Amino acid sequence: MTEAAAAPNCLAGVRVLDLSQFEAGPTCTEVLAQLGAEVVKVENPKGGEPGRILGTGPKPGADAYYFMIYNANKKSVTVNLKSPRGVALVKDMAKKADVFIENMAPGTIEKLGLGWDELHELNPRLIYAQVKGFGEGSPYEHNLAFDMIAQACGGNMAITGEAGRRPVRPGPTLGDTGTGMLMAISVVSALYQRHTTGQGRRLQVAMQDAQLNYTRGAFTNYARTGEPQERGRAGFGPPIPPNDIYPCKPGGPNDWVYVFNSHNNPEHWRRTAKVIGRPELADDPEYVDRDKRMAHADAVNEMVTAWTQQHTKHEAMKILGAAGIPAGAVMDTGDLLAEPTFESRGIIQTQHHPNGDLRMPTFPVRFDGKPPKIAPAPLLGQHTAEVFGSWLGLSERDVSGLKDEGVI
């Protein structure tokens, strides 16, 4: 049987020195690793990056699933950055690297002597990437930030939730993963440009700034109305029904289906009316006209609800979709893991880790029909001798001596 995933090797030969932790930076470097780059995490010898103990793992004392899912396909070395010799080692690695990335607290990397000015002088070709909470020049540039802080300050929460209710934190970690993805495409772009210029670039992205990119639709609404977008009012004005989540049987917490009729395609309504058993309304001027249908919003939603409650969410999606009506079952993680075609297409894979397996999604773009293949996240310091040998030419005896001195 042909494997559903394969290494795309687009970035083969690219060396990435990764001093990031938690999610935003590691998301960026995981994508680079899955695309073929050699990503080397530089970690504290005493425990590694904090993500290794964030929650439980496959077994007691093992690396957390959190670490495993954001650090697949990478290598790990340990370096004591409180040791001058340790910092010197990182500088030596930076001379050999194509990309350097960090997301430490503001000012920390500079205090270590690993700032842009120092490393650019050592290696003018180095792509130097920084992920921060807030941008330089922001009144909050020295503040700490996590995903939920970026989503609050970047506009996401203000437009998420039901009309008239309090803001809601979106489920996806757009503050972290969303920011990391933007940095990944920027790194690849800078690498491409370097072929022409021979020079590295300094890349900086703030988590708050990144969220503005993901809420561009709200800016179009502000341009039209002069007012901030209200929760429950995404798109071009009030939603034309049906345009909502409707309950399905058997009534569990995620037994819902989203049904959508485009505001500029009356055929959606005609199809919907026939499917839900109200064919007499398919061409009724009070319903087929979108503006007039707004006056009957409650009646329309009641009709659709009465129909969806007779079906499971999967049945509803299948029936509506077959009729040419946009519809989507509200699928939770269990639903997604249970859908066999994600695995057969290589989108969900099993990370076979020494501590235990983890089923997880890969980078979803298919290269010649196959998405990138998942390799296990590294054990702490697993590749120290290998990387110091291949990058710096250190012998096993050299590495052993550095361990004895507390440098690695």
Catalytic residue numbers, as ranges: 176
DSSP strand pairing (38-43 vs 75-78)? parallel
- Cα radius of gyration (the chain): 25
Phi first, then psi: give them for residue 349, nearest 5 degrees. -130, 170
Residue 155: CB atoms within 10 A of its CB come to 20
Which residue's structure tokens are 């999967």?
Answer: 314
Cα 192 to Cα 15: distance, rounded to the nearest angstrom: 14
- Kindly report whether the peptide bond that precedes residue 285 is cis, defined as omega within 30 degrees of 0: no
First to last CA, the chain: 43
Residue 166: CB atoms within 10 A of its CB come to 8
Cα 191 to Cα 390: distance, rounded to the nearest angstrom: 22
- Kindly report whether the peptide bond that precedes residue 250 is cis, defined as omega within 30 degrees of 0: yes
Cα 22 to Cα 176: distance, rounded to the nearest angstrom: 9
Residue 97 CA from chain centroid, whole number: 25
Residue 81 CA from chain centroid, whole number: 28
Which residue's structure tokens are 């007499």?
Answer: 280
